[in-house]
Amino acid sequence: MKKIVNIWVLCIGLTFQSCELYDTYKDEVNAEFIGETVAFAVATPVGEADSVKENSVPLSLTVEMPMAIQTNRGIEIRYTFEGDAVFGTDFTAKAIERNEPNASDVTEKYATSQGGKFVIKNREVSEDEAGEESYTNTQNTATIEVSPLVVAGVDKTSGKSLSIVLSSAKNLDNGEPITVGQGGIKKEYNIIINDIHCPTSLAGTYGAQISTETGVQDVSDVTLTNVDALANPDDIWGLYDISNIAGDIQDIPFQIIDQCGEFLGPSDSYISVQGDTEANGRIVLDVMFSDGTTTKQWILYLTKK
């Protein structure tokens, strides 16, 4: 309490300067907030954004209730979207509740362009001999999952901005509002969705070079073959077989997943593949394989003919 009083006095003395608790005491920005609140477990700093690519894996944002709140029905949290990213075109989102006794049981609630809502409950409520209830939080979280989409043929140099904002919360038992954020922070998560560029179809014959411990050398052509048209409805991404994965050394049919420039192939103790497509269209694959005794890691460069 003494600390708060001192801050108030300082603000009076600095009439023409803005004054906020977390601006004045930088060491308190990361302090745990004690009180009835819901907030992002991790949020982007003010003025900064997390950068993701179109068609990347969903971004999972954990929302937590740091301290137990006296509620049987739970705390309902609403969230909205801000920025120039368009819901349904640039991204989709859903909330994942974890309120069931079985930790593996979840409830998914899909958002709309207006945002969405979800509930966080205390997982355990107990009563002592005097009839006093106590509330214990075990896994008192929910997740907002944001999925960036591909917008074919539409580029924006600086990317598309998206903010997921925890707009309000209330106790469902009595309708009382609950504070959103912690001391003015952790109520907004900022994202930049960056455009990605890739060939409309990867199938074809590629001239190949391979970089080994002895240097870069030309090797036999490599072919990429589309495996399943149903997996590639828009010619944006799909499943492919890749042959001659290690140049002249081995010829291994290999299924590879292309997500518009990012490649991930099945990985085991024998061989693994990952890589991406460069701006000039050349595919660069990091290939690691083993004959059971020796493990080698080479770089395969593919240029479509």
Domain that holds residue 242: 204-304
Instruction: Using pLDDT thresholds of 50, 70 and 90, give the confidence band for residue 10.
Output: very low
Long-range pairs for 276-284: beta carbons < 8 A, 24 or more residues apart: 277/197, 277/198, 277/199, 279/197, 281/199, 283/202, 283/206
| Position 199 in a domain | no
Looking at the fold, whether 174 and 52 belong to one and the same domain comes out as: yes
Looking at the fold, whether 188 and 57 belong to one and the same domain comes out as: yes
Looking at the fold, whether 229 and 172 belong to one and the same domain comes out as: no
Q: Angle 65-163-198 (CA atoms, 0-180°, nearest 5)?
A: 125
Q: Looking at 172, 194, 216, which one is the last position of a domain?
A: 194
DSSP summary character for residue 115: B
| Range from 65-79, 88-102, 104-118, 215-229 that averages highest in pLDDT | 104-118
Looking at the fold, whether 40 and 124 belong to one and the same domain comes out as: yes
For the chain, how far is it from start to end, CA to CA, in angstroms?
72
Structure tokens at 27: 């060491």
Per-residue pLDDT, 6:
38
Structure tokens at 143: 């997740």
pLDDT at 207 over 80: yes
8 Å CB contact between 115 and 94: no
Looking at the fold, whether 32 and 153 belong to one and the same domain comes out as: yes
Q: Looking at 159, 194, 229, which one is the last position of a domain?
A: 194
| Position 5 in a domain | no
Instruction: Using pLDDT thresholds of 50, 70 and 90, give the confidence band for residue 5.
Output: very low
pLDDT at 261 over 50: yes
Burial of 11 (0-12, 13-18, 19+ CB in 10 A): middle
pLDDT at 149 over 60: yes
Per-residue pLDDT, 209:
87
Helix, strand and coil in the chain, % to nearest 5: 5, 45, 45
For 19, half-sphere exposure in the C-beta direction (CA atoms, 13 angstrom radius) is: 13
Among 137, 140, 136, CA closest to 62: 140
Per-residue pLDDT, 165:
96
| Position 2 in a domain | no
Scanning the structure block, which residue is given the tokens 């970089």? 211
Looking at the fold, whether 156 and 29 belong to one and the same domain comes out as: yes
8 Å CB contact between 78 and 38: no
Looking at the fold, whether 97 and 220 belong to one and the same domain comes out as: no
> Could you report the per-residue pLDDT of 213-250, keeping only the tens digit for each?
888 888 888 888 777 655 554 444 566 777 766 544 45
| Position 187 in a domain | yes
How many residues would you count in the chain? 305
| Position 4 in a domain | no
Looking at the fold, whether 30 and 87 belong to one and the same domain comes out as: yes
| Position 254 in a domain | yes
Run of H or E including 6: helix 2-13
Looking at the fold, whether 181 and 122 belong to one and the same domain comes out as: yes
Per-residue pLDDT, 31:
44
Per-residue pLDDT, 97:
92
Per-residue pLDDT, 70:
82
Looking at the fold, whether 121 and 145 belong to one and the same domain comes out as: yes
8 Å CB contact between 132 and 112: no
Q: How many domains does the chain have?
A: 2
Domain with residue 80: its CATH number is 2.60.40.2030
Query: What one-character-per-residue DSSP string does 255-294 give?
Result: EEEEESSEEE----SSEEEEEEE-TTS-EEEEEEEE-SS-
Structure tokens at 181: 């954020």
Looking at the fold, whether 125 and 223 belong to one and the same domain comes out as: no
Looking at the fold, whether 30 and 169 belong to one and the same domain comes out as: yes
Q: Looking at 167, 194, 221, which one is the last position of a domain?
A: 194
Domain with residue 244: its CATH number is 2.40.128
